[in-house]
Each structure stands twice: as C-alpha cells, then as structure tokens.
Amino acid sequence: MRAQDIDFLIIGAAKSATTWLQKALQADPHVFMPEPELHYFSRYHERGDDWYFRQFEGCRADQIVGEKSNSYLDNPLAPARVQALLPHARLVVQLRNPVERAYSDYCMLYRRGEAGGNIEAELDTRTGRGNRFLNGGLYHDQLTAYLDLYPQDQLLVLFYEDMLADPGRQLAKVRAHLGLLEADPRSVDVKKVKDRTEPMVGRGLRRALGPIKPLVRPFRRHPLFVAARKRLIGEVAYPALSSSLRARLVDYYEPDVARLGNLIQADLSGWLGRAGRGTSFE
C-alpha cells in the first residue's frame, strides 16, 4: 500500500451519521474501507505511516480505498497531516445541526458513563472553546482549515438532515464525488447504525465493564454472549435538553453558523429554527 493508493477520507463530523455513510459504501464490493475508525491523523499519528498503510492490507486493485474517522474534522492537527500524506485524496464531510450534534454527543458519553447527569454543566456555553461537546459543532474554522489546503472540488460537504430526508440521493452525491457508478436506490437503508433510543446495557455497568471490552469483542456474536447481553440491556433515560439550554446553544452557535453559510454558500438558518436551508456547495 502506498499513499497514492488511498483515494478518499470521510472526515466527520462526529454524531452526524458518518458511520451510516461508511456502511453504505462498504456494501459496494468496489469499495474498501477498514474498520474500526483509524483516527491516525488525529489520535494515533505517532504510530507512523507504515502502521497506517498496513490497515488497508487486503484491498484489491479494482477497489477504491478510503477510511472514515470522525475526529479528523475537529482535531486542529489533522488537516495538515492529511494534506502532507494524501494531497490527492477526495474528502467527504457530513455536518449536522450543531445543537442536535452537541446533545447527541453528550448522550453518547452519558450512556457510556463518561459524562455526568448535570447536562446544564456539561453543555455550559460559558466555558467557551475547549469543551468537546461545544467544539464539535464549530464547523467554520474546521472546514476552513481543509479548504486552505485543498481545492474546493476535492471536498464534498453534506448534511445529516438531507440524509434523513433522502438517503439514496445523499449516497449518490458521495458516489459521484468518489467516481463510483450510481447505486440502486432500493438498496439504501435509512436506518441509522447507532440509535440512542435502542435499549442498552446500563451506564454504570458499561463503565465497570469498560476495561474488558477489547477482550470480549471477538465473542460479541456468540449465542451465549448475545443471550447474556439481552438479560442486561434496558432503555436509557437521558437528561433532557431543556428549552432554555437549547436557546443558549442556539445563541452560542449562531455566529459560527452564519460564517459557515457564507463559506459554503448555503442558507443554514434552518438549523437554528429560523428560515429554510438550501445549498449550492457540493
């Protein structure tokens, strides 16, 4: 594997159904993507390029090759690292209403036992930059970092809300960007890969079992494992996003959403409960 053999990256945003995009592409035998997320250009860059290239072993000459790591968008070191190794790669980013994205990210860490139940403190806009939940939705600077390094036609910007409305059309945009033939729209599944409404192992037990998770992963499909998990799962009760907290988040994101709209030539005011949205940037 060489750098020039890696054709594309899905770079984020987190909690914007990028895993759905990955699964939809992996259903095509002409696409090769490793699992799980590599996070090479963000969290594990010290492992070196040789390690990164080994993750693509097994791909065929007739496949286009890429990977998905949602941390590549909000990590400030990732854009320069990506461009240095993969200046030719096509990039795909899927964005989501930043308020909903922040709440979804919070819910994910809450059910893992990694975020507390005081949602007002966790999503406190007074903390400003530095808070994971808030920073993940500050898309303007994140996209600018890539557009400063890549031609606009190498970066495809998509929206989570459009995926929900018409998954077939969303996937067709991605496939066209990557130079793939159009897929049969009947084969596109709108079901999200991860859904916070599904019953899960309780957050306390998830936290206690966290250290052994890598050890049991190979047995997740074993009938005994499946049976045991069914006895432990239940519906998670998430702290609610109050109207007052939502209003503070809207105020927090409004300047960034306006700048993002100017950057990508899109009306994004619908995200914050105002006018509709349309885009000409693809």
pLDDT at 236: 77
Q: Are 122 and 116 in contact (CB under 8 A)?
A: yes
Map residue 124 onto helix, strand or coil.
Answer: coil
pLDDT of residue 203: 47
pLDDT at 281: 33
Decide: pTM greater than 0.75: yes
- Rounded CA separation 202/238 (Å): 11
Whether residue 249 contacts residue 102, with contact meaning beta carbons closer than 8 Å, is answered with yes
Question: Measuring CA to CA, which residue among 159, 189, 203 is closest to residue 20?
Answer: 189
Q: Tokens for 191, please give them.
A: 């079901």
Longest dimension (CA), the chain: 54
pLDDT at 278 exceeding the cut of 50:
no
Q: Please state which of the four CATH numbers 3.40.50.300, 3.40.30.10, 3.30.70.380, 3.40.50.720 is assigned to the domain occupying 3-194+243-272.
A: 3.40.50.300
pLDDT at 265 over 70: yes
Respond yes or no on whether the N-terminal peptide bond of residue 13 is cis (omega within 30° of 0): yes
Q: Which residues pair with 155 in a beta bridge?
A: 91
Q: ∠121-127-140 over CA atoms, to 5°?
A: 115
Between 237 and 162, the more confident residue is: 162
* Model pLDDT for residues 109-158, shown as the tens digit of each residue: 998 888 889 999 999 888 755 688 999 999 999 999 999 999 999 999 99
Domain boundaries, given as residue ranges, for the chain: 3-194+243-272, 200-234
Q: What is the pLDDT of residue 222?
A: 66
Q: pLDDT grade, residue 44 (50/70/90)?
A: very high
Average pLDDT in the chain? 85
- Which segment, 6-10, 57-61, 218-222, 232-236, is predicted with the most confidence on average? 6-10
**pLDDT confidence of 274, banded at 50, 70, 90?**
very low
d(CA 216, CA 199): 20
Local structure of 32: helix, strand or coil: strand
β-strands 200-201, 233-234: how paired? antiparallel
Residue 223 has a pLDDT of 72
198-229 burial, b for 16+ CB within 10 Å, e for fewer?
eebbbbeebeeeeeeeeeeeeeeeeeeeeeee
pLDDT in the model for residue 277 = 40
pLDDT at 210 over 90: no
Bridge partners (DSSP) of residue 9 are 67, 91
